[in-house]
Amino acid sequence: METVWKTYGFYTYRVLGVDMRNLLPILTVVAAIMVIWYAASIGMNKKWTYDQAGRAGVEVTFTEMVADTWAQDRPVLPAPHQVVAELYRSVFEKKISSKKSLVFHGWITLSATLLGFVFGTGMGILLAIGIVHNRAMDMGVMPWAIASQTVPIIAIAPMIVVVMSTIGATDFLGKDTATAIFGYQPAFMKGVLPKAVIAAYLSFFPVVVGMVKGLRSPDHMQLDLLKTYNASKQRTFWSLRLPSSAPYLFTSLKIGMAAALVGAIVSELSAVPLRGLGARMLTGSYYGQTIQIWSALFAAAALAATLVASISWVERRSLKKMGMS
């Protein structure tokens, strides 16, 4: 009974990677954040309320003031429920092809992120394999790959966007090819390439570094064993190095995915046409639409959480199948 309880019971139960024993503390912390948030939005928005009241020449009571700070159109700090309402409006009540729909902007960002992520991790894994098997590459490239992690690579984003538009390489497949295949140009293909390049570039280096570590993780005993089997280099790679790199790969995939999303968002600040979650934030900050910024921020956070959580899910499943967890 004890074992059954331990295996299936509340105590070892994890949902989405969260240990349920921590549920109460987590909820407490989240509740505390909410309280602080509501209090802060009173503090930060009340000046506007009093200014308006002063201009209109009316007295506001404390409760009226509080109610107003939580319901302004352009608050300094929107209250959580305002952000949630805006999220609901722009996700569910707008047509998803509309420029006001967060689903539309989220999809633009997501497609650039995924396209870049796939290319970046693919190239990263290939380079890591090269580094592990070629000493000259290891000694020549690896120090740069490590050093690049201390460099704010994201600073090149605006340049890549502008240079790629100058040479006309912005659309995935190109307008004519896309029209020939689909009959129209799908929205996400327009202007996706520069963003994907930056996303790929940002996810590339963490994957290289992590994957090299992973491919090197088999110890001497294991490598020697394969040598006694007279295993070829190729065989050693497929049967030992690649499987043992899996935990490292998944860790760097999660880092790479988060980096790719940041890359896509930041490059949307300078990309034309102005679309995507990054662009929503930028237009929001131009026009003082704070609620719009916050809802774009939350959409980006939800996107990041979903992407990373799905990698975690695959990680748990496959490591379990491989007998590594």
Partner 1 sequence: MGWLIGVFLFWLAGYFLNIYLANSPWRKTRIVKLAVPAIFGITILVVWEGLVRGLEVPSVILPPPSMIGARIATSLPILWSDLIQTFVKGALTGYLMGCGAAVITAILIDRSPFLQRGLLPVGNFIAALPIIGTAPILVMWFGFDWHSKAAVVVVMVFFPMLVNTVQGLAATDSMQRDLMRTYAGGYWNTLFKLRLPAAMPAIFNGLKIATTLALIGAIVAEFFGSPTLGMGFRISVEVGRLGLDMVWAEIAVAALAGSAFYGVIALIEKGVTFWHPSQRG
Residue 103, amino acid: V
What DSSP element (H or E) covers 19? strand 18-19
* Cis, bond preceding 273 (omega within 30 deg of 0): yes
Query: What is the spatial distance between Cα 54 and Cα 44, in angstroms, rounded to a whole number?
Result: 17
Point out which residues pair with 139 in neighbouring strands. none
Least distance CB 49 / partner 1 (angstroms)? 17
- Return the CA Rg of the chain: 25
Among 180, 301, 314, 322, binds partner 1 (CB under 8 A): 301
Contact between 144 and partner 1 per CB under 8 A: yes
Residues 19-26: contacts with CB under 8 Å, at least 24 apart: none
Q: Which of residues 6-45 bind partner 1 (CB under 8 A)?
A: 18-19, 21-22, 24-30, 33, 44
Phi, psi (degrees; rounded to nearest 5) at 25: -60, -40
Closer by beta carbon to partner 1, 18 or else 181: 18
Least distance CB 53 / partner 1 (angstroms)? 23
Contact between 158 and partner 1 per CB under 8 A: yes
Least distance CB 261 / partner 1 (angstroms)? 6
Among 119, 240, 294, 315, binds partner 1 (CB under 8 A): 294
Task: Encode 37-88 in three state secondary structure.
Answer: HHHHHHHHHHHHHHHHHHHHCCCCCHHHHHHHHCCCCCCCCCCHHHHHHHHH
Least distance CB 79 / partner 1 (angstroms)? 14
Query: What is the spatial distance between Cα 189 and Cα 108, in angstroms, rounded to a whole number?
Result: 8
Site string for partner 1, 161-190 (x = CB under 8 A): xxx--xx-----------------------
Contact between 147 and partner 1 per CB under 8 A: yes
Least distance CB 189 / partner 1 (angstroms)? 23
Point out which residues pair with 18 in neighbouring strands. 15
Least distance CB 285 / partner 1 (angstroms)? 4
Among 20, 53, 60, 297, binds partner 1 (CB under 8 A): 297
Contact between 262 and partner 1 per CB under 8 A: yes
Phi, psi (degrees; rounded to nearest 5) at 159: -65, -45
Query: What is the spatial distance between Cα 222 and Cα 305, in angstroms, rounded to a whole number?
Result: 37
- The residues binding partner 1 (CB under 8 A) are 18-19, 21-22, 24-30, 33, 44, 76, 135-136, 138-144, 147, 149-152, 154-156, 158-159, 161-163, 166-167, 254, 258, 261-262, 265-266, 269-270, 277-278, 281-282, 284-285, 288, 290, 293-294, 296-297, 300-301, 304-305, 308
